[in-house]
Amino acid sequence: MKQSWEVKEVGDVLSLEYGKPLPKEKRTPNGLYPVYGANGIKDRTNEFYVEEPSIIVGRKGSAGEINYTEEKFWPLDVTYFTKFDKNELNLDFLFHLLTLLELPKLAKGVKPGINRNDVYAIKTKIPPLDEQKRIVVKLDECFEAIDKARANVEKNLNNAKELFQSQLNQIFSKKGDGWVEMTLGELGKVSMCKRILKKQTSPTGDIPFYKIGTFGRTPNAFIDNEIYQEFKQKYSFPNKGDILISASGTIGRRVVYDGEPAYFQDSNIVWIENNEELILNEYLYQFYGVCDWNPSKGATISRLYNNDLRRIQISFPSIIEQKKLVEIMKDLKAQTQSLKSNYQQELNALDELKKSILQKAFNGEL
């Protein structure tokens, strides 16, 4: 560390001030000043405001996330805003410093929040003001180059995803000798499990019960084996290999039922009871990945109603040809996943490079 640099606690060079509540009726999308809350800029208002340029730090909600502002603003009470001596600390330098400190890692509690005393206690190295400004210029040059490289990688990543989707669309739009076009409703019955009441579930138990929020993920509810066996025998239940579809939330999320004991939320998770002598489950799985679900719009959430699902059209060839196409589509997916993995590694490397440069800057090694 250079001799002119000083080791200080963050609390020695800045203070984190609480924002103030602002009733929703006093906010307007056409006001003069931005309002900063748990999710960043929310609305605008011409009421109370802070005049000094500052760094906004999420206190609750987006705990530890930072936002830079040079304009007048209203910080809500779920945020902190920084106050500091401009003769000792440069605003841009402060932004880079808080980025380096990775404040989200300090979040604690059931509803994670940041305690400003934890931030104040962090020790860091502070150079003189002129040195801070020089460091900011160097960091901005480095980060501009990194951001350009990142934009190029993200563009390549998106191109890979679009190419895969385009190739799948071409396969499913083919029509030739031996191809049949039908609606999903003509392929089989839209089915779902028997309704499970909330009182029939528990946080632990014998059989995992997948609701729409945990579909394809880790279950947080269970039902008794006795109910499972009874409902499985009496009512609709998927066969091993059937393709389960989310009909609300993220429409069209796909899960292949593996045959293991499990139960699924009625109406939100459905499947087509298709005849595999006519159309393969694997072929349906690939089709669902490119399907335009066009769900009906409800008041608060999009939902795929049974009639929406029944009306969707699908083209398919013979079983032999389906098997060949499925292998082609699997190979395309594997190639795409490999590309995506490579691009993600490049993005991770750029993120690490940014961190490394920040660390060098605050060690006086830039």
- State the average pLDDT for the chain: 87
In a domain, 1, yes or no: no
Range of the domain at 308: 180-316
What pLDDT score was predicted for residue 45? 45
What pLDDT score was predicted for residue 47? 47
What pLDDT score was predicted for residue 109? 86
Based on the fold, state whether residues 240 and 354 are members of the same structural domain: no
Q: Is the pLDDT of residue 224 over 70?
A: yes
Burial environment of residue 361 by CB neighbours within 10 A (0 to 12, 13 to 18, 19 or more): buried
Task: Report pLDDT digits (tens) over 279-321.
Answer: 999 999 999 988 888 766 555 557 889 998 999 999 999 999 9
Q: Which residues contact 39 (CB under 8 A, 6 or more apart)?
A: 61, 62
What pLDDT score was predicted for residue 44? 44
* CA dist., res. 315 & res. 180, Å (int): 5
Q: What is the DSSP letter of 24?
A: G
What pLDDT score was predicted for residue 42? 42
Based on the fold, state whether residues 106 and 214 are members of the same structural domain: no
Based on the fold, state whether residues 20 and 76 are members of the same structural domain: yes
The angle subtended at Cα 90 by Cα 70 and Cα 14, nearest 5°, is 90
Task: Report pLDDT digits (tens) over 330-359.
Answer: 999 899 899 999 999 999 999 999 999 999
Q: Which residues contact 71 (CB under 8 A, 6 or more apart)?
A: 33, 34, 53
CATH number for the domain that contains residue 15: 3.90.220.20
Task: Report pLDDT digits (tens) over 166-201.
Answer: 888 888 887 778 899 999 999 999 999 999 999 999
Q: How many domains in the chain?
A: 3
Based on the fold, state whether residues 62 and 188 are members of the same structural domain: no
Based on the fold, state whether residues 168 and 208 are members of the same structural domain: no
Task: Report pLDDT digits (tens) over 26-82.
Answer: 766 666 666 666 554 444 444 446 667 788 888 887 888 888 877 776 677 778 888
Q: Is the pLDDT of residue 147 over 50?
A: yes
